Amino acid sequence: MSGTYQDQIRATLGDPRLQAAIYAASGRLMDHRRAAVAPEVLPDFQELRLQAHLIKQHTLDNLDYYLEQFEQQLLARGGHLVWARDAKDVAEFVLDLARRKQARLMVKSKSMTTEEIELLSRLEPQGLEIVETDLGEYIIQLAGERPYHIVAPALHKTREDVGELFSRRLGVERVSDPEKLTKIARAALRDKFLAADIGMSGANFLVADSGAVVLVENEGNARMSTSAPRIHVAVAGIEKMIPRAQDLAVFLKLLGRSATGQPLTVYTSFLSGPRRAGEIDGPEEFYVVLLDNGRSRLLADREKRQSLYCIRCGACLSHCPVYRKIGGHSYPWVYSGAIGAVITPQYQGLTEFPWLPFASSLCGACGEVCPVRIELPKLLLDLRSEVQKALSRQSVNRLERLAFRLWAWVMCHPRIYEMLGSVAAAAMPGEEAKDWPRRLPAWLMRGPLGAWFSQRDLPPWPERSFRQAWRARVRDRSH
């Protein structure tokens, strides 16, 4: 693990206030979800999960077909489709659009996809003012950070943090009451909504048979961003596709419940094209940017294709014991938790962050809560094995390979194993020195051995090995 992440993890673990904040927030999300999917309130939860899995599987297995259907439907309703291979394509399109339409101000609703391609940092230097309008994202934007959690981006900030931030960045009086802070943000953003030329959103779903973008939110900022400005641009990964509007009956029931425990979020918008003849308001122009950015590469692996079924509910973050300790910023990419550990190596290269698939206790909670039944623990294991193979090919772990070969040889020779065992037993301190790993000489505490010992409290060596005890037992019995 490289130093940056190790330092970040240490800092998070060593900050009691942050630990308490993450634990409380993720704990509440867990409680809310559990209540919302309980058999008394949602008896067919498991059938819904299966149905969602099968629909996603079908869509991705036939993705080219649905992409073309989506395109045809969108164009028929007067929308525009922009295909983007990567972040550069998206940024170029938006800048060109802004130039052509003489747009200066863009309001934006929450989107993990635009975070993924770091769109803001590509657009802002070009003179375009962009304002995040989801309260959590607005806080994060003012603080110059990246989201801490898929559905709760400012999960790690206390009210005092936000009060201090607002007073510093917005020049308002310092308050710490969440209600007052929300009012400040409402007032500041209201003017932006009404003045903006372009509203940008992500998409929770793309509906192929309708050419529609579906947005799920609680605050109303996505509705504002897509209703008030004269241009709406939605940026979405190609994997967000579902075949039919009717499939939403399944996905909407799962998404809100899994994310925050809400049967439905406050607003669900189903948007297909610009304002039509007779409609009084709504955008005059409607663009959907379909982003690949490595997704088509992930499709090729039949087993791991299911990583693309994710609907970004964040349940596998809140339920992950590792996420709950190390927090969202200790992961190298915008996607954290179990799904982050699964997709980051696939997008960014296996050996870029080789430790990532190991950042899991394999307790299986992520797989159990996933609303679309992605086999996350299995994918983590597969990736671990691939990472090891890739590192072997690069001969990064030659020493480790040698060690394991030696270990395998010892394990295949019981007599030698036993002999080494008794040598070790003789060398080890006894009962009185339980914390002996803490007192190892410094040279032993360097490198992987040190990392291993630093987290472990080894019990003292037993007087008799299992094999010796077994032999004694067999001897006693035969008498």
Partner 1 sequence: MPRESILHQVRTALGRSVGQPAAPAPPPSLKTPDADAEARLESFCRELEALGGKAWRAASPEEAGAVVERLVAGRLAVASNAPFLCECGITSLPSVRAGFTDPAALREACAAAQVGITSADWALADTGTLVMLSGPEEARLISLLPPVHVAVLPAQRMLSGLDELFTLLPRPAEQTSSMVLITGPSRTADIEQILVRGVHGPGEIHVILV
- Site map (CB under 8 A) of partner 1, residues 20-59, x = contact: -x--xx--x---------------x--x---x--xx--xx
Asked if 118 touches partner 1 (CB under 8 A), the answer is no
Residues 210, 216, 219, CA angle at the centre, nearest 5°?
A: 140
- Site map (CB under 8 A) of partner 1, residues 267-296, x = contact: xxxxxxxxxx-xxxxx---x---x-x---x
CB 183 within 8 A of CB 172: no
Asked if 142 touches partner 1 (CB under 8 A), the answer is no
Side-chain-side CA neighbours of 35 within 13 Å: the count stands at 9
Exactly one of 10, 34, 85, 101 binds partner 1 (CB under 8 A); that residue is: 85
Shortest CB 363 distance to partner 1, Å: 24
CB 88 within 8 A of CB 121: no
Give which of 257, 264, 180, 182 is closest to 218, Cα–Cα: 264
Tokens representing 374?
């992605």
Cross-strand partners of 212: 207
Shortest CB 218 distance to partner 1, Å: 5
Question: CA torsion sign, 78 to 84 to 89 to 91?
Answer: positive
Asked if 61 touches partner 1 (CB under 8 A), the answer is yes
Asked if 389 touches partner 1 (CB under 8 A), the answer is no
Asked if 246 touches partner 1 (CB under 8 A), the answer is yes
Exactly one of 119, 120, 203, 212 binds partner 1 (CB under 8 A); that residue is: 212
Residues 150-169 that bind partner 1 (CB under 8 A): 152-155, 157-159, 162
Q: Measuring CA to CA, how many Å separate 356 from each of 1, 5, 75, 299, 393?
A: 9, 10, 41, 21, 18
- Distance from C-alpha of 196 to C-alpha of 131, rounded to nearest angstrom: 9
DSSP three-state, residue 119 = helix
Asked if 193 touches partner 1 (CB under 8 A), the answer is yes
Between 230 and 401, CB nearer to partner 1:
230
Exactly one of 13, 83, 105, 143 binds partner 1 (CB under 8 A); that residue is: 83
Between 170 and 458, CB nearer to partner 1:
170
Give which of 274, 276, 278, 277 is closest to 287, Cα–Cα: 274
Asked if 457 touches partner 1 (CB under 8 A), the answer is no
Shortest CB 379 distance to partner 1, Å: 17
Q: Distance from first CA to last CA of the chain, Å, rounded?
A: 56
Asked if 103 touches partner 1 (CB under 8 A), the answer is no
Between 303 and 457, CB nearer to partner 1:
303
Asked if 67 touches partner 1 (CB under 8 A), the answer is yes
CB 204 within 8 A of CB 241: no
Residues 385/388/393/395 CA torsion (nearest 10 deg): -170
Residues contacting partner 1: total by CB under 8 A = 100
Exactly one of 114, 201, 204, 210 binds partner 1 (CB under 8 A); that residue is: 210
Residues 223-242 that bind partner 1 (CB under 8 A): 223-224, 227-228, 238
